[in-house]
Amino acid sequence: MGSLLSVCDIKEEVEYIIDLAGQIKEGKKEQRPLEGKTLAMIFQKSSTRTRVSFDVGMYQLGGRAIFLSSNDLQMGRGEPISDTARVLSRFVDGIMIRAIEHDDVIELAKYSDVPVISGLTNLEHPCQALADMLTIKEHFGSFENKKICFVGDGNNVCNSLLLIAPLLGMDMSVTCPEGYEPKEEIVNQALKYADEKNTEITITDDINVALENVDVVYTDVWVSMGDEAEKAQREIDLMPYQVNRELMDLANDEAVFMHCLPAVRGQEVSAEVIDGPQSVVYDQAENRLHAQKAVLYHYMKD
């Protein structure tokens, strides 16, 4: 059965899932493979793209999705995650959870008898990374000799990109101020993948070094849900890492700009860049649907 809690869980299947997403997008796979199946969607955090893409994805694949906020579940009133997992497994064919703590998702999967799919945690965002890689493949044709640079706060999205890029043969750099680096355990795992695939991982506070020979410039919000108390300090620390015209000019001429959205124009990215010709953020957002459908197909189809 298996579950998708981390990019590491699909180390061997990552190219297959991305190719599957492309085939589904092009209408080359069976149209309703999840007929009669139900996905429970647990949301501890609000969402636009994750909620709509999974809901619509299940519908288009022939199944149905049930939205469950923390207020809708006894888990929100203290029921153990293990009990929630055991009960939901008797009702549904899969569980997607958008959680705060990564450990909660691990526990949910431990006690679930159906696949669990992470829709985001404080550590990773694997489904976002799959959609991002589908977008890169569509734009450039392949991952060969391509390099992605993540600029700003080394957060959960950055962590998943660090893991998936080397698995697909891409180099990756991260540029951020001191104290905003991605998780050490994620970097160490990414370096192992890079060694296996003969690719490079670079973590630096030097923007010029990080942007050298870059094909994809990626950023995310500086103040994620849960970080609101640090807003003022984060804006000060991260302003030198705003993706603006000058920063984009450090990348390759044909480089594209990516952002997982929602974006705050004038903070992590200038309006000139995100609304400009190099931006592929809406292709990226659309591909959440196709990547999600590929994940659902892979984990829930008999």
Model confidence pLDDT, tens digit, residues 243-261? 999 999 999 999 999 999 9
Mean of pLDDT values over 15-26 = 98
Q: Which pTM value belongs to this model?
A: 0.96
pLDDT given for residue 76 in this prediction: 57
Query: What mean pLDDT is reported for the chain?
Result: 96
Which residues fall in the annotated binding site for carbamoyl phosphate? 47-50, 74, 98, 125-128, 260-261, 288
Q: For residue 18, is pLDDT > 90?
A: yes
Which residues fall in the annotated binding site? 47-50, 74, 98, 125-128, 156, 220, 224-225, 260-261, 288
Instruction: Determine which of 77-81, 171-175, 252-256 has the lowest per-residue pLDDT on average.
Output: 77-81
Mean of pLDDT values over 177-203 = 98
The 3-state secondary structure of the chain reads CCCECCHHHHCCCHHHHHHHHHHHHCCCCCCCCCCCCEEEEEECCCCCHHHHHHHHHHHHCCCEEEEEEHHHCHHHHCCCHHHHHHHHHHHCCEEEEECCCHHHHHHHHHHCCCCEEEEECCCCCHHHHHHHHHHHHHHHCCCCCCEEEEECCCCHHHHHHHHHHHHCCCEEEEECCCCCCCCHHHHHHHHHHHHHHCCCEEEECCHHHHCCCCCEEEECCCCCCCCHHHHHHHHHHHHHHCECHHHHCCCCCCCEEEECCCCCECCCECHHHHCCCCECHHHHHHHHHHHHHHHHHHHHCC
pLDDT given for residue 128 in this prediction: 98
Confidence of residue 167 (pLDDT cuts 50, 70, 90): very high
pLDDT given for residue 46 in this prediction: 87
Instruction: Determine which of 61-70, 168-177, 223-232 has the lowest per-residue pLDDT on average.
Output: 223-232
Confidence of residue 31 (pLDDT cuts 50, 70, 90): confident
Name the residues annotated as catalytic: 98, 125, 128, 220, 260, 288
Which residues fall in the annotated binding site for L-ornithine? 156, 220, 224-225
Task: Give the domains, in start order, of the chain with CATH numbers.
Answer: 7-125+285-301 (3.40.50.1370), 128-282 (3.40.50.1370)
pLDDT given for residue 56 in this prediction: 98
Instruction: Determine which of 13-17, 216-220, 224-228 has the lowest per-residue pLDDT on average.
Output: 224-228
